[in-house]
Structure 1
């Protein structure tokens, strides 16, 4: 979590912090304050007052990252030290939860906006057909859109025909050596129209993807004149492919196939 985002979230939830601080002040503390990891004071309650020495401190975390520290100032004589430390730890956990939820919400919002932008780009590409573009350029653009939407390191499109050399495009060409392409294509050759494969590398998986891939999601779509497309994504940024990824993938496939079909028809006219 960067500094700007942290300060923005704290600004939104000042009321939570002030409520915690008031409870401490009622018990004899002189101040409650929050600093970043470099010691810069981000929030203090009361806002103004003499400098005070911290009696206790607890770390605020988001995920596994330490993002701030919570301090209570004043003498420990008005409350028992053991319970004060426990209480401050509970308050720190509460603030960590608030920050975590807000961070996830902001990240989800940003993801939705990015997803809408990429789906719009995909829609526009399908609508216009990009008839003046080379087929490889269209395939390259589609793989880039797929990678952003599905959040994977590798996406690919292969145009295949029994009697012609295959045409490939991938976002990470170095991740697709010839031997790997051979394994992937071997799956597609035996597949049916609209057949989908989901191969994931995990302890209990009896159907892992070809090495060195961690996971692989792909689909075959038959075209005219014995040609067919293979669209896929591999090595998801975080974890494995889940049900929402599969839904999104199938949303992408339709317009992507239509775009390539249009480009092929234009090329043959």
Structure 2
């Protein structure tokens, strides 16, 4: 009988920890007339009582078993007979059970220590990944820690993002394409992949590998990548697989947190852009109303929750007719706000560039300048430009697809001034023409954006042009400021409880 190194170690520990108990058993035998009592392993005495006893005589022995495996022999000398042998076998059985209990206790202790080590290791992994703010850094941290925890010669990680993220440590175990190919098998199957040298799939293994383990990394039960571990001298066993799964579960949670953090940053960035766009929109609108002989002027804007591209502006030059404009850029957000700013600036610059420019001159030049920009962004702008001549009591205008623009003659019914040209940015050349109407005292012009006509109610009804025309007719005898206030109040009452979908911008001009 040749005991294994593990058995020898177990026996040595047992003899050391239970020396007193064994000595009491030996003394009991000696008191019963035995000349010696001992424990031997393959002819080697592990312990004998009394010490220095000579055991040349014939003795009785019984096999000492631990978990049904013979690990040593129990001997007694100087006594013989069935009673002595039965007693010896009973002692051997009791000592074996005591040793088995020790072994079970040791195993439980080792498992507990191993579990504690794994918990500490997972904690270290969490702390290491938590301090990383980028996916690349987090994956690099994962492969470094996982390779150490699972005792691998090399470790790699693959995340199926766009573009894919790859990390390998301490050196590349395989090409990026080979790693991606193997990881995609794990992603497709949703289960781990184990490769052994000499197996049918060994052709996919890195040179020098004995075993390769690919463990899925999941977020919300969806496999988003794989952790790849390599050993060159040993295979991955059940405890390794459990630890690899625990590592990947923890890593998946960390990647999920990181993705949520990135999403929150993106939302904050968008929110910042929206606030900036609102500031751009608000500060570019006129901060005071113009004082124009022969006119009352009122203007206002009520932005929606999303930033749009509504604008209005006034251009006054000494000795020149008064020019005003109202426009609406399609779309929302920063792009609409920037195009609004560019369009407004061009209208201002073109107004100053011409000597006594007409509305068509202004719109034509703006369209020429902005067509490429609008086309590239698949956007356009509806713009109304009006020009009031106090001497002639006339209003000249050009309308590039803008609505609603309402004219209500003094004492008459309000009606729409229809657009006669395409919006700015739709065609390479403007198709607008100059239009003219007499603008006498009591006449009212309302140039608004579609946030008024398309305002919705809780029942899904749209305010529409008809109600808007009736409203303007009803309040046309009021001052310009009252007309504007009534428009905003009426739309607010109509849309009570319904979210404002679009900016509401209006300029009211009244002859006096």
TM-score class, shorter: 0.5 to 0.7
Change (3 A) 1:260 1:70: farther
| Alpha carbons 2:38, 2:45 under 8 Å: kept | no
Whole-Å separation in 2 of the counterparts to 1:216 and 1:106? 30
User: Which structure would you say has the larger RCO, counting Cα contacts within 8 Å and 6 or more residues apart?
Assistant: 1
- Structure 2: gaps spanning 5 or more residues: 1-5, 195-199, 263-512
- 1:139 CA displacement: 0.8
- 1:55 CA displacement: 0.7
Name the counterpart of 2:143.
139
2:188 is the counterpart of 1:190: yes
RMSD over aligned Cα, in angstroms?
5.3
Change (3 A) 1:41 1:222: closer
The 5-angstrom pairing of residues 34-183 of structure 1 reads 34-37=39-42, 39-42=44-47, 44-45=48-49, 47=50, 50-53=53-56, 55-62=59-66, 67-76=71-80, 79-80=81-82, 84=85, 88-128=88-128, 129=130, 131=132, 135-136=139-140, 138-145=142-149, 147=150, 158-161=157-160, 164=163, 167=166, 169=168
| Alpha carbons 2:139, 2:167 under 8 Å: kept | no
Render the CA deviation track for 1:216-238: whole Å, top value 9, x for unaligned.
78433149xx992324789544x
- 1:254 CA displacement: 3.5
Render the CA deviation track for 1:238-259: whole Å, top value 9, x for unaligned.
xx57xxx75x665433433355
Name the counterpart of 1:202.
none
Whole-Å separation in 1 of the counterparts to 2:106 and 2:94? 18
| Aligned with residue 7 of structure 1, among 9, 12, 15 | 12
| Alpha carbons 1:159, 1:227 under 8 Å: kept | no
Who wins on radius of gyration, i.e. which is larger?
2
Render the CA deviation track for 1:89-142: whole Å, top value 9, x for unaligned.
454344333223312321331332233133213213312445497843541321
Whole-Å separation in 1 of the counterparts to 2:155 and 2:51? 59
Q: Give TM-score scaled by structure 2 length.
A: 0.35
Whole-Å separation in 1 of the counterparts to 2:212 and 2:63? 36
Change (3 A) 1:56 1:210: farther
| Aligned with residue 220 of structure 1, among 217, 221, 233 | 217
Whole-Å separation in 1 of the counterparts to 2:236 and 2:244? 13
3-state SS of paired residue (2:44): coil
Name the counterpart of 2:251.
256
- 1:33 CA displacement: 1.0
Whole-Å separation in 2 of the counterparts to 1:177 and 1:55? 69
Change (3 A) 1:13 1:138: same
User: Aligned pairs, how many?
Assistant: 240
Whole-Å separation in 1 of the counterparts to 2:35 and 2:177? 68
Change (3 A) 1:108 1:217: farther
